A and B are shown apart, each in its own frame.
Chain A
Amino acid sequence: MKKRRNKDTAVSYLWSAPSLLLIALMVVFPILYTGYVSLTNMNVYHWFDFTIVGIDNYIRALFVFDSGFLSALLATLLWTVINMALQLVIAFVLASLLNNQKLRLRKLYKTLLMFPWAMPGYVSILLWKTGMFNTQFGLFNQWMEKAGLAAARWLSNNVSAFLCCTLVNLWLALPFMIMIMDGAMQSIDKSYYESALLDGANWTERTRYITIPAIRPIIAPAVIITIFTTFKQFDVVYLLTQQAGAKTGSGFHTILTYAYENAFVTNNYGYSSAISIIIFILLIVFSARYQLREEGDE
């Protein structure tokens, strides 16, 4: 019997091997290789003949973690918290509306709400930048003009750039959260609501005591994934405000856009890898804390 079980286990691993190999190649190997490169002097002057230099790059990397990095880190934390809070609230409201049995054309709305997800992020971001925020041709300034107001430079200062980036990030990220919440809500047994209605529970009470506790374990992984992607956001902030040749005047940086401007442009891969590894560790610590809290809650 035991032999049979061992064989089954071996066969399972064998079937999973190609996928595991692919994951190892695409996820684990780059991390390990970045760790290795961070210990070398791989740069323009030692591109192919690099040697191990120990923790030199890490010592130098600490100089990048100056006041600019700290303010970028704080901005990133604020960015993550605000984006997550808005995403959860908006996705919850929209998913609740989509689950209203009286709502007509629900499928059409769902499809429309998924639309931003179907577009490549790069295209969406640049469309927002030129189509909506552009001072000369953007829709927002056309509305301002119609309203008799002066044209605004939406992306030129830190606060308005932060808000504009948040808006675009919400547009890009909401479909995922809505989809997960919608699925989670549909999985709740309707009899709970029927009993609650019989007991005279109103909408707020039903939401508080049935919907939220029921969807929480289902949406938790999605929240963790979204926290990660929001925390390590690069595309939205860089393409909207920091792109080389198209800077807007905003000084809002996430840790990744800051690290890009202060390390990656040097072509010093050893040094840049050390910074990447430090940011990677920061993310791991952040996620470990979150997961521990999740487990504690359970």
Chain B
Amino acid sequence: MKKIISLLLCLCLCLGLAACGGRADPGDAKKLTIWHDKEDAVVAALSDYLSEAVPDLEIVFEKKTSLTDSLKLVGNDPTAAPDLFIFAHDKIGVFAEMGILTPITELVEEGRLEDYLPMTLEAAAYKGEVYQLPLYFETLLFMYNRRYMQDDEVPATTGELLQYATDNTGRGRYGFVEQHSTAYYSAAWIHGFGGSIIDQDGVPFPDPQAVKDALAYHLKFVALMPGETEYSTVNTLFLEGKADATIGGPWLVPSARDAGIDLGIAPMPTVDETGKALAPYSGVQGIHVLKFAAENKKEAVQELLDALTAPSVGIDLALASGCAPANALCYDDPRVANDELVQAMRGTAEIAVPMPNIPEMDVMWTVVGNLLTDVNLSGKDVESSFSSAMDKAEELIEAMG
């Protein structure tokens, strides 16, 4: 009996090990597997649309929580990798350099991208090639709670915002909160002063003075905000009505509405010193094609991409989950035109800066995060903190290759 049990256990172990292998067969030419990390509403809208638009294709959506890590491991293995994946544009450089992506311009008919918002196509391009078919985009927005901040009190400039925050902060309440020491949020301030975190050629902080000015000016706001800078604290303060205004993403809107907040959305304030608006990063979500699929399932991929360039898919996405479509034609639809959130993002798209998609940006998130922590949370001097951050950025970029 013991022997039988032992044999069975051995068999289970062997089967378990065998199961660690990938998919045996990359699949037939009409079946396309798409990896994504999106919320259910987005995938349901896409899936419903595609089942009608391309009924002859079998589209399988697979949710991956660590999508980029998985692609790094199996991106060139057709038995384990997907055919396409939906993700933000900021990893395009990494995957293009790894050699697993195909430019979509080879697969989409000429002229099909003409109606796309320029910002989305700029985001999808790397070294002169477009590697992503944009679907929708996200940007940060200035949001306020109408219960505490009236429409006529909404600050048009950062000076007015500072005054409002000073007047309304204290006794456990905040006039304005944001994730002040997070690179993604601080980028808006750096852009507002004319600086940037990295340029297209991978040069960190191309305008050092602008970054230092932004950091020094932003400190006045940091002094009026809580020490914690992470997502949950900042959002909870706003959702519990303890903060009058915030800068947050569209993902905050459903929670704010659920919390019964009379939510107002306004254009980003303008920096008094430069006359430029706070320009947040934008993230363009779109579909990328892996090389193997482009070579072996070209017709199916072309058919799918062609269907996804139609404005109706963008309209469906906007209606289903408040996404801002990448295709400008979608905004002609009255239902999209009347959506305050979508229109606010469309407005911000005019000033938003696409997140850099070059591989060097990966190290800059850490460098800028540390720089902000030093200046905002540890009270270190701007000049010396910036100088250390610049050295670290150059060292890490050098270490990449």
Contact = CB atoms under 8 A, between A and B. Distances in A.
A247 B396 contact: no
B338 interface: no
A44 to B, nearest CB: 5
Contact of B227 (A18, A19, A156): A156
A22 interface: yes
Nearest to A41: B401
Given A245-B182, A262-B396, A135 B228 contact: yes
B17 A136 contact: no
Prevailing SS type, chain A contact patch: loop
B144 to A, nearest CB: 19
Interface in B228-274: 228-233, 236-237
Residue picked from A15, A243, A247, A251, most chain B C-beta under 10 Å: A247
Interface in B177-219: 179, 181-184
Contacts of B157: none
B66 interface: no
A45 B98 CA distance: 6
Interface in B353-401: 359, 362-363, 365-366, 369-370, 372-373, 376-378, 395-396, 399-401
B398 to A, nearest CB: 9
A246 interface: yes
Contacts of A271: 399
A262 B400 CA distance: 11
Nearest to B9: A18
B242 to A, nearest CB: 8
B230 A246 contact: yes
B399 to A, nearest CB: 5
Given A156-B227, A265-B363, A266-B396, A245 B369 contact: yes
A265 B362 contact: yes
Contacts, number: 110
A134 B401 contact: no
B185 to A, nearest CB: 9
B186 to A, nearest CB: 11
A44 B378 CA distance: 33
A166 interface: no
Interface size on B, as a range, is: 35 or more
A96 interface: no
Interface size on A, as a range, is: 35 or more
Residue picked from B72, B75, B373, B399, most chain A C-beta under 10 Å: B399
A135 B226 contact: yes
B13 A18 contact: yes
A134 B400 contact: no
A35 B400 CA distance: 19
A5 to B, nearest CB: 20
A246 B97 contact: no
Interface string B83-107: 0000000000010011100000000
Contact of A247 (B10, B76, B229, B395): B229
B366 A265 contact: yes
A249 B373 contact: yes
B399 A18 contact: no
Given A266-B400, A268-B401, A245 B227 contact: no
Contact of A15 (B6, B369, B372, B376): B6
A134 B377 contact: no
Contacts of B226: 135-136
B14 interface: yes
A248 B399 contact: no
Contacts of A137: 233, 236
Nearest to B359: A44
Contact of A44 (B10, B181, B228, B400): B400
Interface in A153-167: 153, 156-157
Contacts of A251: 378
Contacts of B228: 134-136, 246, 248
Residue picked from A47, A153, A271, most chain B C-beta under 10 Å: A47
A47 B230 CA distance: 33
Contacts of B181: 247
A25 B369 CA distance: 37
Given A22-B13, A261-B366, A48 B76 contact: yes
A156 B399 contact: no
Contacts of B179: 245
Contacts of B99: 47-49
Interface string B37-62: 00000000000000000000000000
Contact of A43 (B14, B232, B370, B400): B400
Nearest to B378: A249
Per CB-CB distance, the 9 closest pairs between chain A and chain B, nearest first, are A249-B377, A246-B230, A47-B98, A247-B373, A153-B227, A18-B13, A266-B400, A249-B378, A266-B399
Interface of A: 15, 18-19, 21-22, 25, 43-45, 47-49, 60, 63, 130, 134-137, 153, 156-157, 243-249, 251, 261-263, 265-268, 271
Interface of B: 6, 9-10, 13-14, 17, 72, 75-76, 94, 97-99, 179, 181-184, 226-233, 236-237, 359, 362-363, 365-366, 369-370, 372-373, 376-378, 395-396, 399-401
